[in-house]
């Protein structure tokens, strides 16, 4: 039995809550084992789910219920072109903590947004590098961790503050509809603890663990 990183395969209801309608077509970028797509299918929200996944073992599991799963690396221009040439259009595109794993997140976002319907929505989440954890690790401990998950996930190739991800969205020709913060005082502690409550009053960005953005095609 394959043991996958729990941070990559969990249900992302924090993103799925923004999906409205029925019989929708959804592109799940970084679909992992297909947990999110299966939720949409089971709740009659989607009739068509296409996935994109780097890990072939996880993709194989997602393919059991998805209409199709493209297996490859979004850092490859050829792979992105292959996806564009073999898909039509989608009501929703989900980038659930994917852009930070790419060398050129702008290119991937801009290109894949070409298959978003005219009135479609893109849902994005990225970790916030301007979190208090950066100060704790870099300035107090004097190190840049290489962790299995979280803000300092060792596979991250790009990093975002709130301004950075908003600039990226605008540059890609998109417009933000909704912005939501996911609060957490420390990387290793998901609870909304006393530290989070205190620091939140001073600067919300310092305890924003993830930025969640819903966007559409710009004017």
Query: What is the rounded average pLDDT of the residues 56-74?
Result: 96
Environment class of 79 (CB within 10 Å of its CB; exposed 0-12, middle 13-18, buried 19+) = middle
pLDDT at residue number 60 = 95
Does residue 1 surpass a pLDDT of 50?
Answer: no
pLDDT tens digits along 82-95: 999 999 899 999 99
pLDDT tens for 27-56 read 999 999 999 999 999 999 999 999 999 999
Secondary structure (3-state) at 169: helix
> For the purposes of burial, counting CB atoms within 10 Å of the CB of 219, is it exposed (0-12), middle (13-18) or buried (19 or more)?
exposed
Could you tell me the pLDDT band of residue 2, with boundaries at 50, 70 and 90? low
Q: 3-class DSSP state for residue 26?
A: strand
Q: Which domains does the chain have, with CATH numbers?
A: 11-128+158-184+210-217 (3.40.50.150)
The residue with tokens 């819903």 is 214
pLDDT of the residue at 6: 59
pTM of the model: 0.91
Q: pLDDT at residue 3 above 60?
A: yes
């Amino acid at each position: 039995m394959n043991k996958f990183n729990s941070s990559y395969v969990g249900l992302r209801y924090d993103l799925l809550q923004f999906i409205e309608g029925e019989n929708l077509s959804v592109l799940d970028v970084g679909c992992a084992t297909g947990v999110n797509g299966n939720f949409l299918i089971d709740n009659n929200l989607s009739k068509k789910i296409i996935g994109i996944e780097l890990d072939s073992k996880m993709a194989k599991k997602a393919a059991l219920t998805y209409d199709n799963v493209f297996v490859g690396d979004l850092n490859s221009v050829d792979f992105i072109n292959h996806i564009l040439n073999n898909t039509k259009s989608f009501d929703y595109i989900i980038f659930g903590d994917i852009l930070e794993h790419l060398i050129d997140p702008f290119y991937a976002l801009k290109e894949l947004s070409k298959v978003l319907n005219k009135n479609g929505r893109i849902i994005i989440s990225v970790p916030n590098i301007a979190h208090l954890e950066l100060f704790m690790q870099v300035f107090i401990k004097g190190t840049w961790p290489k962790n299995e998950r979280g803000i300092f996930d060792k596979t991250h190739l790009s990093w975002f503050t709130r301004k950075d991800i908003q600039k990226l969205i605008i540059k890609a020709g998109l417009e933000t509809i909704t912005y939501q913060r996911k609060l957490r005082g420390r990387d290793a502690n998901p609870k909304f603890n006393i530290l989070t409550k205190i620091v939140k009053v001073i600067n919300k960005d310092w305890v924003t663990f993830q930025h969640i953005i819903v966007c559409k095609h710009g004017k």
